[in-house]
Amino acid sequence: MSELLSSLTDDERRLLSDAPSGAELAAQPMLATLSDRRDFHAGGWIFERKLDGVRVLAVRDGRGVRLLSRTGQRQNATYPEIVDALREQGSDDFVLDGEVVAYSHGRTDFSRLQQRLGITDERRARASKVAVTYYVFDILRLDGADLTRLPLRARKALLRRALSYHPPVRFTPHRNEGGQELLDQACARGWEGLIAKRAAGGYQPRRSGDWLKLKCQRGQEFVVGGFTEPAGSRTGFGALLLGYYEGAHLRYAGKVGTGYDRATLRDIRGRLDELATATRPFDDQVREHSARWARPELVAEVGFSEWTRDGMLRHPRFLGLRRDKRPREVVREKPVAG
């Protein structure tokens, strides 16, 4: 047993087991549940900043370093500088969970990160002017041991000591108390929100109430099922037609016509033309006279102010395309009761 694992308490060591392969552990990441809970006075939680990036799991083993998206897509060529940093670590056997972000004016900016998401050529990625940072917040495997049954606090303590932190790899700090006060501060700073995590909880390969998303503003992913034609001097398209799955049914949620630059309008229109179909993918009627349909394969991140009574988005704005989410996973997020 390694020196780091030997530092665990007797009770914690009893929770360890021989780990499956790194790829198996990374295949099903733990997911947070949207919540409007604000009362955390009972304690037992830690609070991390909710980062506006993309989820990436990192595996290092005898085959080298592999970066994997939430859906298992390899990301090495997109973030080669992160691969380099993890290859230089002293430990050669670990599985990490974290978020890749790009900064703009001191804040994580998903729109800026978009400029790196589509790159699959290592040379282009290295030449990109968009610097990325990998914030690691959990560790699932270390030196052949499965850590997922350990309490979160113990995993975080191991994570802090297991790596050497320097750009572009950073440890995700946390606070042990604060709840509403911390969320108010996060929102005042323009952050996306907080993630509250049960300190004694294990790492569960599913969406869990042990991790809660506390958002400053509303927003989620939506499936793109079509678009409207542009008007006037507009290029590409007018608005994207959005939906979410309710069982096997794709429900219409409205359209988003703001948040694009000209390059994005042209790029997305090209993707939509490749996905063109004569069949409306939505189960609901869509009252747009210039609607054009597309196979529901693109996923967009959209911010909005609220849902209307008839289930439409109010004041939506496009934030970017998500390449780490499967369309069938996109449902209407409803906060669990606080």
Partners of 31 in the beta sheet? 207
Determine contact, residues 307/313, Cβ cutoff 8 Å. yes
Nearest 5°: phi and psi at 6?
Answer: -65, -20
| Catalytic positions | 50
CA distance linking residue 253 with residue 308, whole number of Å? 10
Structure tokens at 275: 């996905």
Amino acid at 293: W
169: buried, middle or exposed (CB in 10 Å: 19+, 13-18, 0-12)? buried
Residues 6+ apart with CB under 8 A from 106: none
Determine contact, residues 179/48, Cβ cutoff 8 Å. no
Partners of 5 in the beta sheet? none
CA distance linking residue 333 with residue 34, whole number of Å? 7
CA distance linking residue 125 with residue 119, whole number of Å? 6
Closest by Cα among 127, 159, 191 to 7: 159
Closest by Cα among 115, 31, 27 to 79: 115
Largest CA distance in the chain: 70
Determine contact, residues 299/222, Cβ cutoff 8 Å. yes
The gap from C-alpha 292 to its chain's centroid, in whole angstroms, comes to 29
Tell me the C-alpha to C-alpha distance, in Å, between residue 277 and each of 202, 243, 270, 305.
45, 16, 14, 31
